Amino acid sequence: MTSASKTPAARSDYERARTSETYTASDRPSKISNDDVPQALRYRLRALLLMGFYIPILVIPWVLTCVLVHHPVNEPTYYKQSGLPPNTIRLHRRLINGISVLNTIAGIVTIPLISSLLAQAAVIYTQRRRKSQHVTIRQAFALADRGWSNISVLWDSWVAWSKGSATHGPGSKFLTLSAILLVIAAIQLPIREIFLSTEQTLVFSRSEKDVSIDYLQYFRPARYTYDLGHDSEPDDMSSIPEDLVVQDVGNSLASLSVFKFPPNLWIQEVPSSPEFMLQAGPWNLLSGQRGYVAALPNGTTTGVMRHRIMRLNSSASCADVDQSEFPSQCGGENPFTASFLRPDQLRVRVCVPGSRGKFPWTVSRDRQQLHEEIFLDISDATGIRQRESWNSSVSRNVTRHCTTQTERGYFELGNYRNRYQAGPLLDRWEEPDIWATEGEYNDWMSPEWIGDTEKYRYSIGRAPAGERRRPSTEDRITDLVNWTPNKRGGLEWPPVPGSQNPNRTMTGPLMTLAISLFGERSLFAFADASTNATSPSAAAQLCQSGRLPYFSRTLDSNVTSACANATAADVSPKQDEQNLINLMKAWLASIFYAPDETETSLDIGLYFANEAMLLQTVQNTFLGTARPITSSDGSYIPRPVISLTGIILVSVLILLQLLGLAYLTYYIYLVPAWTGALDALAVARIAKSLGYDDLPGIGAVEERDERHLGAIDGLVGIVEVGKECEDGVEVDGEKDGRVEIGLGASGLFHRRLAKFRIKRAKPADSMEMHRFCECEGCTRRRANAVERGASGAYNAL
């Protein structure tokens, strides 16, 4: 039944229904009294809900990633040397997993969510908000097709723009900006994955920390922390007996091997060719201060812990001088001198200026240098040989002056922080607060230092009440409450058999070496004191003892020959004396035949003197004041890794995306919308307001059809009350203040319209409409005119 054929009763019901579905100016209350009347123009919360869901899963994972690149969320660094608490490690692992989950969710919802927001914003874009606004039906249909994600629509827009007919094509500013926003959102996560990676980082877990501060169990390590050894304290070292070190040096030089690598020799510059190490031996690498000695074996590493230990390195430089330069009186407060004299045969003089028995180092842990010198004078040394005459003996006099430089300081052992490479010699010992629980290193004093008089006192009947103490620049054992003289950590220095002065302190390494080679208890002194009455002969005793210094290194044929003659049967006393002189000449020639050979021999001896000083101190104080060195393998935790370029690029993309989404949300809430999204239903409703010939039928769409759609106004506007339509008919609603929307209507949308209810008009029945106004309001009025039978009025239209 058509509208024109309705009965009066039917028309009355129809009018009542129309009136009940129309928003009027009097219906301004916020509550809708009739649930059957939907609110058409309103603000919808969907955009805010979507943004409230999407923004956190976009921003929070990236912010957490940037933080976790540098440190855990609740700690200042991954390399906290006091250890990361177990709850921090658990939280960190959960955050890494949570970030991965949120990134996955964001990657899934980004495109559909932003596309949904764009579809909602497209409704606002196709509503008339200003007089100069222009959107065609073709552009509106492209937005309804969600052309921002449709390659074919974007291509058609590009083609129309390149031909200069963009206004008639499917493209629009909104479509272009939407496509750009969608591209930024789409590429942001892949670019992040390109720059971002995850690596396993070693950390020091607090569960691996030294677990107790009890006096008896103070330094008992936890499950994954173990002892590597001890380092000597400077103050302990300052009282080490000279004879104890001299004895060790003599033993080391007697058992010296050519190719055996000493465990405590650290090579600062390792040769690139391992074959060179095997061919030259370790001692040829000492020149140029490339080697040093430490209390722990070379290559010791401490895992995730950081320790500094003492090191000493010495180097010698020798040159021949005129005999007149040999000091007539050896300088210093208490220099060391020695001599060997066989008239008309051999005369050897040794002078080491200095103060024998005075420890040359201070108790400071800062870098220190010590300079020493030695003078050697060998007269009528038949066995002294030069390089150019290796196979012949040349009688000559040799006066040689050698200077040595020794450095003492601290270096950092290899650990995870420095890629397991030993650090350089430190100029200063840096320890801001010796009582701090947090620090850059894991250096701690031994339990002997608990209860230091500077801060703590003994508790009555209990162990010392105190805390762990870090090493300071200068620590003296006399600061301890329970210190007693002549004791270091409760142990006395062990006695040395035959020592003439057991309380004499060691001096510098060069003087200590000279005393070992030429001192009172040396083989040199034994040979000088021997007589023809010595039985067996002195030469035979020297050879049979197997304690000739450096002999196993040189393996000199003249020394071997001299020993063979000295140990032969039926040797006369006169021949014994000559054998002794020949042996001394050969031994001196094997060590001091040239300045460079003398330098190497001294370098070796200086190494053993430094080693003996360090190791003897540790061996006699490790139960007391020696500083313990520990190691931990650590725990692996995942850690995001990204370059600064990646952080900047991804942050810029996220910022652009946030700005685009913020403006999109602002745009959506500029004015109330007549529909929730520009979708298929909205397009169908718009199409009903078009003329019969405006939309092509089912079948092929020709170019002229597209041009025609590109010429039709596609904006939905407000039918203005009291205005006239294009054909001169007055707009209905002036009397009752109705607000209606229509395709092509000239009225503007504004915020106050959110309080109105607007009725969607019925389309006209079968009649030609191409000659009339195509807005939805005019269509409704023509239908009313037909129902009222006002055919004359209709014809007047």
Q: pLDDT tens, 685-725?
A: 887 777 666 777 676 666 676 676 777 878 888 876 555 44
Domain edge (last residue) among 624, 640, 661 = 624
* The pLDDT of residue 729 is above 60: no
How far does Cα 230 stand from its chain's mean position?
30
Q: According to the model, what pLDDT value does residue 388 have? A: 42
In a domain, 152, yes or no: no
Top-ranked range on mean pLDDT: pick from 61-70, 147-156, 750-759:
61-70
Place of tokens 């609110």: 39
* Domain-located, residue 333: yes
Mean pLDDT of the residues in the chain: 78
Please check the confidence at residue 161 and state whether its pLDDT lies above 80: no
Single-letter amino acid, residue 749: F
Enclosing domain of residue 19: 1-42+708-797
CA distances from 714 to 73, 646, 673, 682 (A): 53, 44, 15, 12
Q: Name the more confident of 325 and 742.
A: 325
One domain, residues 420 and 559: yes
Q: Decide if 162 is inside a domain.
A: no
558-572 in b/e burial notation, b at 16+ Cβ within 10 A? bbeebbebbbeeebe
Whether 283 has a pLDDT exceeding 80, the answer reads no
Instruction: Determine the distance from the C-alpha atom of residue 1 to the mean position of all C-alpha atoms in its chain, rounded to a whole number.
Output: 81
Per-residue pLDDT at 380 exceeds 70 = no
Is residue 585 predicted with pLDDT exceeding 60? Answer: yes
Q: What is the mean pLDDT of residues 381-395?
A: 44
Q: Among 29-43, 58-72, 278-292, which stretch is predicted with the lowest mean pLDDT?
A: 29-43
Kindly report which listed range (11-25, 348-362, 425-439, 692-706) carries the lowest average pLDDT score. 11-25
For range 646-660, the mean pLDDT: 96
* pTM confidence score: 0.72
Which token pair is 219?
């330094």
Residues 66-88, mean pLDDT to the nearest whole number? 90
For position 281, what pLDDT does the model report? 57
For the residues 742-752, what does the mean pLDDT come to?
Answer: 81
What was the pLDDT predicted at 783?
A: 53
Is 344 among the domain residues?
yes
Q: Residue 386 domain-assigned?
A: yes
pLDDT band at 518 (very low <50, low <70, confident <90, very high): very high
Q: Looking at 603, 624, 645, which one is the last position of a domain?
A: 624
Same domain, yes or no, for 264 and 411? yes
In a domain, 72, yes or no: no
Does 212 map to a domain? no
Query: Which H/E stretch holds residue 600?
Result: helix 595-621
In a domain, 794, yes or no: yes
Whether residues 607 and 515 fall in one domain: yes
Co-location of 506 and 599 in the same domain: yes
Range 597-619 average pLDDT: 93
CB-based burial of residue 328 (10 Å sphere; 0-12 exposed, 13-18 middle, 19+ buried)? Answer: exposed
Specify whether 277 is located in the same domain as 411.
yes
b (16+ CB within 10 A) / e for 61-82 = bbebbeebbeebeebeebbbbe
- Give yes or no: residues 749 and 612 share one domain: no
620 shares its domain with 717 = no
Of 737, 243, 298, 708, which Cα lies nearest the Cα of 497?
Answer: 243
**Domain edge (last residue) among 624, 640, 657:** 624
pLDDT in tens, 206-252: 765 443 333 333 343 344 678 899 999 999 999 999 999 999 999 99
Q: What is the DSSP string of 460-529?
A: TTSSB--------SB--GGGSTT--TT-BTTBPPPP-TT-S-TTPBP--HHHHHHHHHHSTTSHHHHHHH
Strand arrangement of the beta sheet that strand 398-412 belongs to: 265-267, 291-294, 308-320, 398-412, 368-379, 346-352, 336-342
- Do 250 and 392 belong to one domain? yes
The model's confidence at residue 736, banded by pLDDT at 50, 70 and 90, is very low
Q: How many domains does the chain have?
A: 2
Give me the pLDDT at residue 756, please: 66
